[in-house]
Amino acid sequence: PSNWKGDNLPVEQVTWYDAIAYCNKRSLKEGLKPAYSIGGNTNPSNWSSGTISCDWNASGYRLPTEAEWEYAARGGNKSKGYKYSGSNDLGSVAWYDGNSGQKTHSVGGKQANELGIYDMSGNAWEWCWDIYESYPGGAQTDPHGAASGSRRVRRGGGWHNLAYGFAVSYRGGDSAAVAYYVIGFRCLRVFP
């Protein structure tokens, strides 16, 4: 569905529902247990509404929680405390309004972060699992987001954003049914 086509370009113009459906379809294709279901149904034939639940112990692919996304963007246990994912110099790690030419670019065209992950700042926003609401008070361990709300979290900034939207702490939120040419996703698997 992407506006810009290419084998190594990030996917964009996908809804949050499209992203979780992809995770389940890829899981099923690889013989893994899907993470997502609606009322026990894990076959995402046409998910565009409904209450989605996540099996956090499933072997298949899923979207990162907002906390997982930020931990990875910050460089995990190798973090050097950079403002952006991999550097304090935005241009070395991100495609943004000042250098993108108003389009996405091949994944890995900029410097990786401390964990060797590319494009967590810039290129395309990335959907996360979480519902977009205010953070709860007090300490949290591996939070999975708010229990209710109408928008889903997106992180990372996109090719069209000005520099302020790329700090690893910056977050945005949109309706799960929205598909913009600046929002994509990154899926993950958790290994026991």
Q: In angstroms, how far is the first alpha carbon of the chain from the final one?
A: 33
Give the SS3 label for residue 190: coil
**pLDDT in single tens digits along all 192 residues of the chain:** 899 999 999 999 999 999 999 999 999 999 999 999 987 677 766 666 667 899 999 999 999 999 999 999 999 999 999 999 999 999 999 999 999 999 999 999 999 999 999 999 999 999 999 999 988 778 888 878 887 788 999 999 999 998 888 999 999 999 999 999 999 999 999 886
Amino acid at 105: H
- For residues 49-79, one letter each, b for 16 or more C-beta atoms within 10 angstroms of the residue's C-beta and e for the rest, the string is eeebebeeebbbbbbbbbbbbbbbbbbeeee
The residue among 143, 140, 99, 146 whose CA lies nearest residue 122 is 99
Cα–Cα nearest to 120, from 146, 145, 144, 96: 96
pLDDT at 48: 64
In this predicted structure, what is the pLDDT of residue 163? 85
What's this model's pTM, rounded to 2 decimal places? 0.93
Task: Give the model's pLDDT for residue 23.
Answer: 95
Reduced to 3 states, what is the DSSP secondary structure of residue 100? coil
**Distance, CA of 22 to CA of 150 (rounded, Å):** 21
